[in-house]
Structure 1
Amino acid sequence: LDVLKYAMPGGIFLLDSIYNKEDVWDVMPSEVQQAIIDKKLHFYVIDAHKVARDTGMGGRINTVMQTCFFALSGILPREDAIAQIKLSIKKTYGKRGEAVVAQNYRAVDETLAHLYEVT
């Protein structure tokens, strides 16, 4: 499946990968590299599974990837987007206790700390 076929020129390409920003480019197929170059994509990488595991979320990467989306998309200013995500976490998981809410907040914060642009 050629997901980059549908990417808009100058768009954002977010990859969940075990490879860091220094190594990810070298392990990508040349066709993917060329598509990123040709479309002048802004390329970001995160190891969403590692962030989820390290923050006690197990294999659930939805909070991590949602945070990436809103941090990169520009739909809302980044600070507003993160505040809205955390408000949603509080509403959704508040009845499960503060520990669950704090765990999800930590996942959001760690996502931002581990989201890198590949240049």
Structure 2
Amino acid sequence: FNSIYPRYQRPRFSALSAYSIPLEIAVETGTIGLICFLWLLLVTLNLGWQQLQRLRADRDLDGFWLVGAIATLLGLLSHGLVDTVWYRPQVNTLWWFMIALIASYYSPLPEAREDV
């Protein structure tokens, strides 16, 4: 970003980044990087939603942890549309902690047994 932006910036104004996480990822990693990031989001949120449904069916109170983690991710993503919040280590650590929290609830679906 910093190598291309100076060509288009206004005089006496400097920006450290694009101030938009998806735009920053697209600029720095290209289309493939943006697709990989969107894939990570899709897989993580889908996994969180599936495990939340499982925990709700079991009436397990651990589902509240998943609700909090998913809400945190969505909040960071929505703020990331207009600001580069992930370049602060405290926020970045929170983001990856929530991803890890969702991933920790992974429980594979039971496989159907075939009687032989």
Over alpha carbons, which structure has the higher Rg? 2
Greater fraction of residues in helix:
2
The question of a shared fold, defined as TM-score above 0.5 by the shorter chain, is answered with no
Greater fraction of residues in strand:
1
TM-score (structure 2 length as normaliser): 0.31
TM-score (structure 1 length as normaliser): 0.31
